[in-house]
């Protein structure tokens, strides 16, 4: 069974579009509440909740993450940059896992994988700090052998393969090549003893192929789920994705 992590960032994006300057992230007329959405997603079968606390706080706020830590019954996965401030925040919060991602203030969502090779020392510092606190660390990386091998060398127990290039090429001739890269990356990571997760751009169509990647442990999906939830509710969106992720015989 492949697990489903639900990324709720864009629920907070909608809230911030109206209430960015409200001075609070909950209460009164402030809506929607990402924590309430997370609880509904859990009830529908989500295996974990993922949030990205960005440096510029464009969507998820610190208070959201603290409330999630207190409220949810599954696992809290905190996406974060490799900065001292985020290390301190994570060590105080103690999520079940962290996923190290790059950040670019110009991007709407994370558009590329973390360059572990170019940031060896920074990544090592986070992995070691989280391991000392009993927090699992995942590295959000492209399916490139040097990145995967260094992730294992640095002691990160998990990797999350960036599926964005594949998703963008899905309706083009480049799809087969991008899927092969993911396949080989998942196989190589497994050989090195890494837990294999994947995410970015996964939707209700390409899930049929993505789910066939070898050794998958969990997929983290956000945008497509929340888009579907506008029409069917988050419960229906999660239930349908779970059914497509692990179809019966």
Residue by residue, DSSP assigns the chain as --EEEEE-HHHHHHHHHHHTTSS-SSSTT----HHHHHHHHHHTT-SEEEEE--TT-SS--HHHHHHHHHH-SSEEEEEE-S-HHHHHHHHHH--SEEEE----TT-SS--S---TGGGHHHHHHHHHHHHHTT-EEEEEE-S-HHHHHHHHHTT-SEEEEE-HHHHHTTTSTTHHHHHHHHHHHHHHHHHTT-EEEEESS--TTTHHHHTTSTTEEEEEE-HHHHHHHHHHHHHHHHHHHHHHHS---
Catalytic site includes residue 79: yes
Task: Kindly list the distances between the CA atom of residue 55 and the CA atoms of 19, 59, 65, 160, in Å, as whole numbers in the listed order.
Answer: 18, 10, 14, 21
CB 225 within 8 A of CB 238: yes
Annotated catalytic residue, options 42, 162, 200, 218: 200
Task: Determine the Cα angle at 76 with ends 74 and 78, to 5°.
Answer: 165
Question: Using N-to-C axis directions, what is the helix angle for 223-245 and 9-19, rounded to 10°?
Answer: 160
pTM of the model: 0.94
Catalytic option among 10, 42, 59, 79: 79
**CA distance between the termini of the chain:** 13
Tell me which residue of 5, 2, 50, 41 sits closest to 244, measured CA to CA.
2
- Tens-of-pLDDT digits for all 249 residues of the chain? 999 999 999 999 999 999 999 999 999 999 999 999 999 999 999 999 999 999 999 999 999 999 999 999 999 999 999 999 999 999 999 999 999 999 655 444 445 689 999 999 999 999 999 999 999 999 999 999 999 999 999 999 999 999 999 999 999 999 999 999 999 999 999 999 999 999 999 999 999 999 999 999 999 999 999 999 999 999 999 999 999 999 987
Catalytic, 10? Answer: no
Catalytic site residue from 10, 42, 52, 218:
52
In the residue annotation, 52 being an active-site residue is answered as yes
pLDDT in tens, 103-127: 655 444 445 689 999 999 999 999 9
The predicted-structure confidence for 207-219, as pLDDT tens digits, reads as follows: 999 999 999 999 9
């Amino acid at each position: 069974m492949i697990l489903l992590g639900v990324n709720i960032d864009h629920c907070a994006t909608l809230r911030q579009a109206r209430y960015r300057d409200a001075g609070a992230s909950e209460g009164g007329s402030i809506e929607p509440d990402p924590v309430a959405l997370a609880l509904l997603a859990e009830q529908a079968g989500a295996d974990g909740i993922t949030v990205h606390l960005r440096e510029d706080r464009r969507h998820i706020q610190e208070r959201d993450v603290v409330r999630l830590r207190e409220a949810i019954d599954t696992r809290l996965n905190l996406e974060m940059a490799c900065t001292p401030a985020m290390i301190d925040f994570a060590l105080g919060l103690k999520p079940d896992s962290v996923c190290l991602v790059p950040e670019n203030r110009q991007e709407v969502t994370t558009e590329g994988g973390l360059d572990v090779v170019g940031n060896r020392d920074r990544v090592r510092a986070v992995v070691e700090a989280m391991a000392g606190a009993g927090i699992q660390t995942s590295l959000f990386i492209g399916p490139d052998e040097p990145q995967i091998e260094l992730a294992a060398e640095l002691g990160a127990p998990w990797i999350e393969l960036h599926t964005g290039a594949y998703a963008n090429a899905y309706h083009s001739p480049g799809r087969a090549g991008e899927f092969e890269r993911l396949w080989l990356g998942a196989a190589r990571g497994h050989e090195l003893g890494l837990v294999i997760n994947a995410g970015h751009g996964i939707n209700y169509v390409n899930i049929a192929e993505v789910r066939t990647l070898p050794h998958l442990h969990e997929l983290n999906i956000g945008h497509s789920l929340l888009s579907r939830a506008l029409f069917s509710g988050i419960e229906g969106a999660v239930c349908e994705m779970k059914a497509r992720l692990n179809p019966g015989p």
